[in-house]
Structure 1
Amino acid sequence: MRLDVVGLHCTRGYRSLFSELAFTLEAGQLLLVEGHNGSGKTTLLKTLAGLREPDAGQVLWEQQQPIVWLGHSNGIKDDLTALENLQMMQVMAGADSLLRRDAKSCISTLERMGLAGNGHRFPRHFSAGMKRRLALCRLLLSSACLWILDEPQAALDKAGIQLFEALLAEHLAQGGSAIMTSHHHVGLQGSHIQRLLLAA
């Protein structure tokens, strides 16, 4: 798995956010995108996820494998139960995931994310932290090698942040990669972590 970004240029309105941006992400690596508000962090992540076209440059995804995107919005439906939301995530993850998973594994995923016993509840009754945990379940329901995450720890308490970091460390150890922004300290260390500062 390899992601190459070459000469990337993005604008917002008439303002250039970044230009000639280039980096490479290998299997097992984490890229932390840093910068002040308005520097283009979310724009960059959406561009890498294919949700926005760059003004110039290329995003070269070596194996054209699926990715998992999690933005500021949780992407969950309040009129579906937590379990039904996970089943919807399975469908979005693709047929291969559906063949491997069933309702029992959805329940196990809820348990792992600290949501045991909440499968038949509607997210509109959840706290903000519980909704974020539910959204993070899509990471466990996907076999994607690359996770692109915009402020994934938002609304999580200390235990929730530690749980996310454990999931991330496991993903990297298994040869996956991740690109993320965060206003929180990320409790991972090692040479596999890169940092990219956007200074627009």
Structure 2
Amino acid sequence: MALSAEGLACRRGGRLIFEGVGFRLGNGEALALTGRNGAGKSSLIAMLCGRLRPEAGTIRLEGLDDLPLAEAAHLVGHRDGLKSALTAEENLRFAQDILGGAAATPAQALEAVGLAHVGTLPVGYLSAGQRRRVALARLLVAARPLWLLDEPAAALDVNAQAMLVGLMRAHLAAGGAILAATHGPLGLDDARELRIGP
């Protein structure tokens, strides 16, 4: 798999946010997307997901038998995207049913993120860090080669950040790829950096 972008530009509300952005990301590679607040990191991820059309430039995904980018990628946005009234397991089961490509069971995914004990609780009862871990557990219930992560360590304590690094390393070792917007270190020594803005 190879994801590439060339000459991307983004305009929001009539204002040019960034232009001339390009990168190439292949199997087993991680790219840390950095830049000040408002530089366009989340907007770039939205372009890759197909939720925002580029002002200019091209995005290409190769090597996946014409699979659309939206179906090759997992997104964990800066909002957790969970249904508060559903339990942690129900949220993960719903994600698995929608995304397809079943991998870990909801119970296995919760165990992997250290939340086996909250599976039957509505996520509305969970702390911000626990909710974030449930959102990250979605990465494990459906197999997709590309992870698009927007501030993945937000609200995570030190132990949970180490768990996240372990999940990312395992995904890369299995041939996956990661593009992550971050304000802090990603925790992956081999990650390249793409900085947007000054």
* Fold-level similarity (TM above 0.5): yes
Counterpart CA distance in 2 for 1:195 and 1:149 is 14
In structure 2, the partner of 1:197 is 195
Deviation (angstroms), 1:48: 1.1
Counterpart CA distance in 2 for 1:109 and 1:44 is 28
Q: Which runs of 4+ in 1 moved over 4 A?
A: none
Structure 2 counterparts to residues 28-43 of structure 1, below 5 A: 28-43=28-43
Unaligned runs of 5+ residues in structure 1 are none
User: Structure 2 residue aligned with 1:70, among 58, 76, 98?
Assistant: 76
Give the aligned residue type for 2:91. Answer: N
Q: What's the C-alpha RMSD, in Å, of the aligned pairs?
A: 1.3
In structure 2, the partner of 1:164 is 164
Give the aligned residue type for 1:28. Answer: G
Does 29-38 or 55-64 show the bigger shift? 55-64
- SS of alignment partner, residue 117 of structure 1: helix
Contact 2:32 2:186 in 1 (8 A): no
User: Structure 1 residue aligned with 2:94, among 88, 98, 101?
Assistant: 88
In structure 2, the partner of 1:56 is 56
Deviation (angstroms), 1:23: 1.3
Name the % identity.
Answer: 38
Counterpart CA distance in 1 for 2:142 and 2:58 is 25
In structure 1, the partner of 2:27 is 27
Number of aligned residues: 192
Counterpart CA distance in 2 for 1:43 and 1:73 is 14
Deviation (angstroms), 1:126: 0.5
Deviation (angstroms), 1:14: 2.6
Unaligned runs of 5+ residues in structure 2 are none
Counterpart CA distance in 2 for 1:23 and 1:183 is 19
Contact 2:35 2:183 in 1 (8 A): no
Q: Give the TM-score normalised by structure 2.
A: 0.92
Contact 2:11 2:18 in 1 (8 A): yes
